[in-house]
């Protein structure tokens, strides 16, 4: 079996953000991730393109899929973005999320300010997933959560963590009283803070840190202290996120 020319065109178009936005969907690749999406049942899957062997093994997961296309490995290679060969690729609808003020007010959320690297974004979603952070808000200039590289790096976190594109100002207007933590160079050591669970942790851009407008709105200026004799200028954005989330988990 082969993909039709139109299917091939359509699948290739989804490598671009504008078409993912137009069709409101995204691509998931690889045996583990595809099985996770299908068995979670939380996303509508419109198309599965897979090798016959994979389809035989996973037939029970395909009940609600609109289109299933069995293909040869060579055909998959044409549409794959992975460098190593894989057996399955699927197209899932992006979830429709509504901002849930009560839920956000009750827990710890992340706000990402201009996080550009897909690997960092995916790793941050995975961190949120690990620590039970339910909401990750992304400024409009962040890399898109449904970018294929983000999807791969997030290891399925997009199934459990809710992400919304929203400006900091709009978020702040919704929740004016929620404490906002942010890492800055001269902040108080997180080692000595007793964090407030119901709050937002703001994470800055990889090279520029938090933008001045957001820094002005922080209620808690925090920092991760360097060790004795430490020489690095900064930590990677995802690593810093992991450390702050761990201290929140330990202290709240």
* Rg of the chain in Å (alpha carbons): 20
The 40-79 contact track toward a copy of itself, x by CB under 8 A, reads ----------------------------------------
Q: Which stretch binds a copy of itself (CB under 8 A): 43-51, 169-177, 214-222, 229-237?
A: 229-237
Nearer Cβ to a copy of itself, position 21 or 252? 252
CB of 37 to a copy of itself, least distance (A): 13
**Which alpha helices (DSSP H) does the chain contain, by range?**
5-13, 17-23, 31-40, 52-58, 73-79, 101-106, 118-131, 148-153, 168-174, 212-215, 237-251
Q: In this structure, is the dihedral angle defined by the CA atoms of residues 142, 239, 246 and 128, taken in order, positive or negative? A: positive
CA dist 87 and 147 (Å) reads 20
In the DSSP assignment, the letter for residue 206 is T
The rounded distance, in Å, linking the Cα atoms of 198 and 200 is 7
Interface region with a copy of itself, contact rule CB under 8 A, candidates 44-52, 79-87, 126-134, 135-143: 126-134
Nearest distance from C-beta of residue 2 to a copy of itself, angstroms: 33
Residue 226 and residue 69: Cα distance in Å, rounded? 53
- Of positions 22, 57, 173, 191, contacts a copy of itself by CB under 8 A: 191
Binding segment toward a copy of itself, per CB under 8 A, in 6-14, 75-83, 172-180, 224-232: 224-232
The DSSP code for 159 is: G
CA angle 54, 94, 46 (to 5 degrees): 40
38 scored as a contact of a copy of itself (CB under 8 A) = no
Is 49:10 a contact under the CB 8 Å cutoff? Answer: no
- Cα(241)–Cα(235) distance, integer angstroms: 10
Tokens matching residue 147: 């970018």
Two structure tokens written together for 73:
């490995």
Spell out, one character per residue from 149 to 188, where the chain touches a copy of itself: x when CB under 8 A holds, - when not: ------xxx-xx----------------------------
- Candidates 86, 129, 183, 204; binder of a copy of itself (CB under 8 A) is 129
Q: Is the Cβ–Cβ distance between 88 and 51 less than 8 Å?
A: yes
Interaction of residue 229 with a copy of itself, rule CB under 8 A: yes
Query: Would you say 182 or 242 has its CB closer to a copy of itself?
Result: 242
Q: Does 231 sit near a copy of itself (CB under 8 A)?
A: yes
If one counts every other C-beta atom within 10 angstroms of the C-beta of residue 217, the result is 16
The reply to whether 225 sits near a copy of itself by the rule CB under 8 A is yes
Residue 56: CB minimum distance to a copy of itself, A: 26
| Beta carbon of residue 121, minimum distance to a copy of itself (angstroms, whole number) | 12
Binding site for a copy of itself (CB under 8 A): 119, 123, 126-127, 129-134, 155-157, 159-160, 191, 224-236, 238-243, 245-247, 249-250
């Amino acid at each position: 079996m082969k993909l039709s020319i139109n299917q091939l065109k359509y699948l290739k178009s989804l490598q671009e953000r504008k078409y993912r936005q137009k069709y409101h969907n995204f691509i998931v690749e690889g045996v583990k991730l595809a099985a996770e999406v299908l068995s979670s049942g939380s996303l509508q899957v419109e198309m599965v393109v897979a090798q016959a062997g994979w389809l035989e093994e996973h037939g029970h997961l395909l009940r609600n899929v609109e289109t299933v296309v069995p293909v040869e490995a060579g055909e998959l290679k044409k549409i794959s973005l992975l460098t190593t060969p894989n057996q399955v690729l699927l197209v899932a609808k992006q979830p429709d999320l509504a901002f849930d003020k009560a839920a956000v007010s009750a827990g710890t959320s992340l706000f990402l300010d201009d996080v550009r690297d897909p690997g960092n974004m995916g790793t941050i979603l995975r961190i949120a997933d690990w620590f039970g952070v339910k909401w990750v808000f992304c400024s409009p200039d962040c890399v898109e959560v449904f970018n294929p590289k983000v999807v791969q790096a997030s290891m399925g976190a997009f199934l459990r963590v809710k992400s919304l594109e929203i400006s900091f100002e709009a978020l702040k207007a919704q929740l004016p009283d929620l404490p906002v933590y942010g890492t800055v160079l001269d902040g108080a050591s997180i080692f000595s803070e007793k964090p407030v669970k119901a709050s937002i942790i703001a994470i800055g851009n990889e090279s520029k840190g938090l933008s001045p407008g957001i820094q002005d709105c922080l209620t808690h200026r925090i920092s991760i202290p360097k060790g004795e004799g430490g020489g690095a200028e900064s930590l990677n954005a995802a690593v810093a996120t992991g450390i702050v989330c761990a201290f929140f988990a330990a202290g709240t």
